[in-house]
Amino acid sequence: MAKYDVDSEKLKRLEDYIDSIEQKEGALIGVLYKAQEIFGYLPKDVQLFIARKLKIPAAKVFGVTTFYSYFTMEPRGKHVINVCMGTACFVKGADKVLEELRKQLNITEGNMSPDGMFTVDSLRCVGACGLAPVVMVDGKVYGRVKVEDVKAILDEYREGGSTQ
Amino acid sequence: MINVTINDIKLKVPEGTTILDAAKMANINIPTLCHLNLHDIKMVNRTASCRVCLVEVEGRRNLAPACATECFEGMVIKTNTKRAIRARRTMVELLLSDHPTDCLVCEKNGNCDLQKIAADLGIRQIRFEGEQSTYEKDSSSGALYRNPDKCIMCRRCETMCNEVQTCSVYSAVDRGFETVVGPAFNLPMLDTQCTFCGQCVSVCPTAALTEVSYVQDVWNALHDPDKYVIVQTAPAIRVALGEEFGLKPGTIVTGKMVAALRRLGFKKVFDTDFAADVTIVEESKEFIDRLNGKGRLPILTSCCPSWVKFIEHQFPELLDIPSTCKSPHMMFGAIAKTYFAEKFNIPADKIVVVSVMPCIAKKYEIQREELKSDGVENVDYVITTREFAKMIREAGIDFTKLPDEDFDNPLGESTGASVIFGTTGGVIEAALRTAYEWVTGETLQDVEFHGVRGFEDGLKEATVKLKDMELKIGVAHGLGNARRLLEDIRDGKRFYHAIEIMACPGGCIDGGGQPYHHGNLEIVKARMNAIYEEDRRKPIRKSHENPAVIKLYQEYLGEYGGHKAHKILHTHYTPRETI
Ligand code: SF4
Ligand code: SF4
Ligand code: SF4
Ligand code: FES
């Protein structure tokens, strides 16, 4: 009777995974890990599904999810882009770079591109002011980024090269 | 047995005894805060999170939390050294540094364990200035009020809800300074599987968990000249209210309670017990029908809204076994706004029904859609025993000096059978008194069924002979016990003809809205004894002999379990999910 507002194909994969576990007791953390791998994050309905499937209280699942910083309840793209918004970067046009990133990735709401490939966030000063404006993709640093560079940077991460 | 020395007193204690319990045996008091031992219902909160019980143990570098440290052979303990006392103070000061200091306007003022310990330890200033954590407050249910700002992370609520009630609504959420005890996904309580039994409220040491109060709404109604405000009181109030005014637990204050309600300005002071008698005749009729093959056995009593919500969430596949009877105070509301309104020629929309209940779940219950008539609530406000006591104090009534007065008629007449509704075992005993006579056609000589009574056993069983039939009766109090019983019924492991379930351990006498017992369950037992005492005092002890009830059916409802009775007095249930 329960309805879960998430991708049913992914949910099926999670269900199969849980069904394959013999020792269900103490399996919660492993299951959450797997679920995050499948969904990219742990929305409420995925946690509820896990709770009911493992027969443990939803409050407990939520407690564990919020305890470990590894788990996230917000969707995250495959690649995480951080734009430094420290004063130096800002003065050198970081806001325009950010705007361009969002435009090219079709992000209108939230931080994730609709195809789930990228999450774009801003950071406070990362301490690399000499390179301003700074953009980081999955931890790799790009310095003195201009609006014109954005496409090339994104292309590096797009699978099979450029698609748009 | 092992030997220990506490503050130079030598004593022998059983192995496994904590320092705290050993100290008690030596009449030494160690302050505690998070610790709570409700032995009778098998709940011990052992989180040892507050550290206000620190003591010195010879040969040990660190101070030991007395509540969670077991004695060992030859242990030498000092509870009142300079170091221990200072450490305890520091722990309380640390708690206070992240706690609002608005005691003067706090609902727990005068009843708060944190406030008491700060006073006991003579804290006069808070040395640490900390960042205060603030969280969203929640009154979504209209029943239970959460104010996490006042939470001291003792986790008593979590222990109560997980272990005794098995509802597992709470968990520690987040980490570090942000940690809070709360429901899944920070949902409003209304959207969780909480049953609003209020047992977490009963054990919360601070005002982090309390009830949503309707005192002001009731005052407003009482002062509104266009309203006709009537009140009903549950059976468990009269044996507990006295405690709020310094009377010994178990004092029966029925007469003074009625007098107080009149002085507060209620037009009529009625008794939920009247409606409990109606419940019994309806439920007995339903029971006998089911015994005769019309419907499924066992029949489960349905007087407790918390238990109803529990079965809806946890056993949706069993929703055909609870009786369809509304709870007594809902029956009362429905009767008041129909029969009473017509009989006394008062427009139903002018009548305001206030229920004084030992219960928090009933605040939630009155909002349930299926219990409204044309969108209007049959009971307008529910206030707890505690809120009622506040109103008495606020009105400047000297409660203990009040004369004894009687309930108004006709909805104030009741029997001994309805009084015992307030305790575990009482509803089923009342039903047996009626069902026995209706089935056998004989007069029941001894109306007391001792097999279903008592506090210590969470699950009780009894067999009652009805003519040539052996009726198997089950009684559960506390939702964890109810869960065990229902699992066995679902799995076909046990069979009963009739079952009574109450959510609160001990029944409504230990409801979430009763005067705080601060961990002393002897108080609850005294209330139980008083309930049975009140039953013995009643001239009529069987519901179907209540003359006012007989008249209600003659004048208005018609047959027991008939069409009109069904429309006004019965309800239905909704399957819900676990969350
Ligand atoms: S809400 Fe009350 S009982 Fe629960 S952890 Fe906080 S202070 Fe303790
Ligand atoms: S009211 Fe009862 S069910 Fe709800 S959280 Fe408190 S103890 Fe649990
Ligand atoms: S046992 Fe009584 S007080 Fe407790 S929730 Fe049920 S009806 Fe309310
Ligand atoms: S009472 Fe012992 S740690 Fe809280």
- Is there a single domain that holds both residue A44 and residue A94? no
SS3 category, B225: coil
Residue A143 has pLDDT above 60, yes or no: yes
Q: Which of A42, A67, A92 is the last residue of a domain?
A: A67
| Inter-chain CB proximity A63 and B172 less than 8 Å | yes
Please list, in sequence order, all residues whose beta carbon lies within 8 angstroms of the beta carbon of residue B139, skipping any fewer than 6 positions away. Answer: B145, B146, B212
- Is there a single domain that holds both residue A94 and residue A63? no
SS3 category, B564: helix
Q: Could you say which of B161, B194, B303, B504 is catalytic?
A: B303
Considering the domain boundaries, does residue A1 fall inside one?
Answer: no
| Per-residue pLDDT tens digits for A126-136 | 778 888 899 99
φ, ψ at B117 (rounded to 5°): -70, -35
Query: What's the rounded mean pLDDT across residues B38-62?
Result: 92
Write out chain B residues lying below 8 Å of A41, CB-based.
Answer: none
| Per-residue pLDDT tens digits for B177-224 | 778 899 999 999 999 999 999 999 999 999 999 999 999 999 999 999
Alpha-carbon gap, residue B505 to B68, rounded angstroms: 25
Q: Which of B168, B173, B174 sits opposite A57 (nearest CB)?
A: B168
- Is there a single domain that holds both residue A98 and residue A131? yes
Is B362 noted as a catalytic residue in this protein?
yes
Alpha-carbon gap, residue B467 to B188, rounded angstroms: 51
| Per-residue pLDDT tens digits for A4-38 | 999 999 999 999 999 999 888 889 999 999 999 99
Give the number of other CB atoms < 10 A from CB of residue B163: 15
ipTM above 0.90, yes or no: no
Considering the domain boundaries, does residue A2 fall inside one?
Answer: no
Residue A159 has pLDDT above 90, yes or no: no
| Per-residue model confidence (pLDDT) at position A160 | 55
When mean pLDDT is compared across A90-94, B57-61, B230-234, B565-569, the lowest value belongs to: A90-94
Q: Show the domain range for A28.
A: 8-67
Q: For residue B33, which amino acid is it? A: L
- The long-range contacts involving B174-178, CB below 8 angstroms and separated by at least 24 positions, are B174/A66, B174/A67, B175/A66, B175/A67, B175/A69, B177/B131, B177/B133, B178/B133
pLDDT band, residue A111 (cuts 50/70/90): confident
Nearest-by-CA chain B residue for A71: B174
| Per-residue model confidence (pLDDT) at position B2 | 95
Query: What's the rounded mean pLDDT across residues B479-497?
Result: 95
Query: Does ligand 4 have an atom closer than 6 angstroms to the CB of B91?
Result: no
| Per-residue model confidence (pLDDT) at position A72 | 86
B465 pairs with which residues across the strands? B470
Is B53 noted as a catalytic residue in this protein?
no
Q: Which of A67, A91, A108 is the last residue of a domain?
A: A67
When mean pLDDT is compared across A48-52, A98-102, A117-121, B228-232, the lowest value belongs to: A117-121
| Per-residue model confidence (pLDDT) at position A78 | 84
Is B448 noted as a catalytic residue in this protein?
no
| Per-residue pLDDT tens digits for B108-120 | 999 999 999 999 9
- Asked whether the beta carbons of B301 and B283 are under 8 A apart, the reply is yes
- Is there a single domain that holds both residue A100 and residue A62? no
Structure tokens at B575: 């399957």
Q: Which of B231, B252, B230 shows the shortest CA–CA distance to B240?
A: B252
Cα B403–chain centre separation: 28
- Asked whether the beta carbons of B437 and B299 are under 8 A apart, the reply is no
Q: What is the CA radius of gyration of chain A?
A: 19
Q: Is A125 annotated as a binding residue?
A: yes
Considering the domain boundaries, does residue A39 fall inside one?
Answer: yes
Considering the domain boundaries, does residue A147 fall inside one?
Answer: yes
Alpha-carbon gap, residue A6 to B47, rounded angstroms: 37
Give the number of other CB atoms < 10 A from CB of residue B479: 29
- Asked whether the beta carbons of A92 and A85 are under 8 A apart, the reply is no
A137 pairs with which residues across the strands? A81, A140
The alpha carbon of residue A52 is apart from the nearest alpha carbon of chain B, in Å, by 8
Q: Which domains does chain B have, with CATH numbers?
A: 2-97 (3.10.20.740), 134-211 (3.30.70.20), 215-569 (3.40.50.1780)
Q: Where are the alpha helices (DSSP H) in B161-304?
A: 199-203, 215-222, 254-264, 272-291
Can you tell me which atom of ligand 3 is nearest the CA of B327? 7
CB-neighbour burial class of residue A147 (10 A; exposed 0-12, middle 13-18, buried 19+): middle
| Per-residue pLDDT tens digits for B523-543 | 999 999 999 999 999 999 999
SS3 category, A74: coil
| Ligand showing the shortest atom-to-Cα distance for residue B199 | 2
Q: For residue B303, which amino acid is it? A: C
- Is there a single domain that holds both residue A16 and residue A54? yes
- Is there a single domain that holds both residue A17 and residue A51? yes
Residues written for chain B: 579
Considering the domain boundaries, does residue A149 fall inside one?
Answer: yes
Query: Does ligand 1 have an atom closer than 6 angstroms to the CB of B99?
Result: no
Is B508 noted as a catalytic residue in this protein?
yes
pLDDT band, residue A162 (cuts 50/70/90): very low
Interface of B with A in 150-179 (CB under 8 A): 162, 168-175
- Asked whether the beta carbons of B233 and B405 are under 8 A apart, the reply is no
Considering the domain boundaries, does residue A74 fall inside one?
Answer: no
Considering the domain boundaries, does residue A155 fall inside one?
Answer: yes
Peptide bond preceding B403 in cis form (omega within 30 of 0): no
One DSSP character per residue, B447-489 reads ---GGG--SS-SEEEEEEEETTEEEEEEEEESHHHHHHHHHHH
Query: Does ligand 4 have an atom closer than 6 angstroms to the CB of B20?
Result: no
SS3 category, A32: helix
Ligand 4 center from residue B115 Cα (angstroms): 16
Q: Is A161 annotated as a binding residue?
A: no
| Ligand showing the shortest atom-to-Cα distance for residue B305 | 3
Write out chain A residues lying below 8 Å of B174, CB-based.
Answer: 66-67
Best to test chain B binding among A52, A67, A68, A70 (most B CBs inside 10 Å): A67
Q: Whose C-alpha lies nearest to ligand 2, atom 8?
A: B161
| Per-residue model confidence (pLDDT) at position B127 | 79
Q: Does B479 touch chain A (CB under 8 A)?
A: no
| Ligand showing the shortest atom-to-Cα distance for residue B423 | 3
Alpha-carbon gap, residue B397 to B224, rounded angstroms: 21
Helix B215-222, helix B385-394: angle, nearest 10: 50
Query: Does ligand 1 have an atom closer than 6 angstroms to the CB of B157?
Result: yes
pLDDT band, residue A164 (cuts 50/70/90): very low
Q: State chain A's mean pLDDT as an integer.
A: 88
B57 pairs with which residues across the strands? B77
β B381-384/B351-357 pair status: parallel
Ligand 1 center from residue B47 Cα (angstroms): 12
Write out chain B residues lying below 8 Å of A44, CB-based.
Answer: 185
| Ligand showing the shortest atom-to-Cα distance for residue B113 | 1
| Inter-chain CB proximity A63 and B578 less than 8 Å | no
Query: What's the rounded mean pLDDT across residues B150-160?
Result: 95
Nearest-by-CA chain A residue for B316: A1
Interface of A with B in 127-156 (CB under 8 A): none
- Is there a single domain that holds both residue A134 and residue A106? yes
Could you give the number of structural domains in chain A?
2
| Per-residue model confidence (pLDDT) at position A40 | 85
For B21-90, what is the HEC assignment? HHHHHCCCCCCCCCCEEEHHHCEEECCCCCCCCEEEECCCCCCEECCCCECCCCEEEECCCHHHHHHHHH
CA distances from B354 to B197, B230, B263, B368 (A): 19, 6, 15, 16
Q: Which of A48, A59, A66 sits opposite B169 (nearest CB)?
A: A59
Considering the domain boundaries, does residue A148 fall inside one?
Answer: yes
Ligand 3 center from residue B511 Cα (angstroms): 5
Phi-psi region of A27 (alpha: psi -120 to 50; beta: other; left: phi over 0): alpha
Q: Does A34 touch chain B (CB under 8 A)?
A: no
- Is there a single domain that holds both residue A62 and residue A83? no
Most confident of B245-259, B439-453, B466-480: B245-259
- Asked whether the beta carbons of B406 and B412 are under 8 A apart, the reply is yes
The alpha carbon of residue A138 is apart from the nearest alpha carbon of chain B, in Å, by 26
Can you tell me which atom of ligand 4 is nearest the CA of B34? 4
- Asked whether the beta carbons of A66 and B175 are under 8 A apart, the reply is yes
Ligand 1 center from residue A111 Cα (angstroms): 36
- Is there a single domain that holds both residue A59 and residue A107? no
Q: State chain B's mean pLDDT as an integer.
A: 95
Is B522 noted as a catalytic residue in this protein?
no
Give the number of other CB atoms < 10 A from CB of residue A76: 16
Ligand 2 center from residue B482 Cα (angstroms): 14
One DSSP character per residue, B348-400 reads GGGEEEEEEES-SHHHHHTT-GGGEETTEESS-EEEEHHHHHHHHHHTT--GG
Element (H or E) spanning B233, and its range?
strand B228-233
Helix A28-39, helix A58-67: angle, nearest 10: 70
Query: Does ligand 2 have an atom closer than 6 angstroms to the CB of B325?
Result: no
CA distances from B54 to B36, B42, B73, B88, B302 (A): 16, 25, 20, 6, 46
Is B323 noted as a catalytic residue in this protein?
yes
Residue A89 sits in a domain whose CATH number is 3.40.30.10
| Inter-chain CB proximity A47 and B184 less than 8 Å | yes
- Is there a single domain that holds both residue A137 and residue A106? yes
Element (H or E) spanning B300, and its range?
strand B299-300
- Is there a single domain that holds both residue A87 and residue A149? yes
Task: Return the percentage of chain B with pLDDT > 70, whole number.
Answer: 100
- Is there a single domain that holds both residue A29 and residue A88? no
Is B355 noted as a catalytic residue in this protein?
no
Ligand 3 center from residue A84 Cα (angstroms): 57
Alpha-carbon gap, residue B385 to B184, rounded angstroms: 30
| Per-residue pLDDT tens digits for B307-355 | 999 999 999 999 999 999 999 999 999 999 999 999 999 999 999 999 9
Structure tokens at B107: 């609902």
Is B429 noted as a catalytic residue in this protein?
no
Interface of A with B in 50-79 (CB under 8 A): 51-52, 57-63, 66-67, 69
Q: Which of B50, B90, B116 to mutate to test the pocket of ligand 4 (most atoms within 8 A of CB)?
A: B50
Residue B96 has pLDDT above 70, yes or no: yes
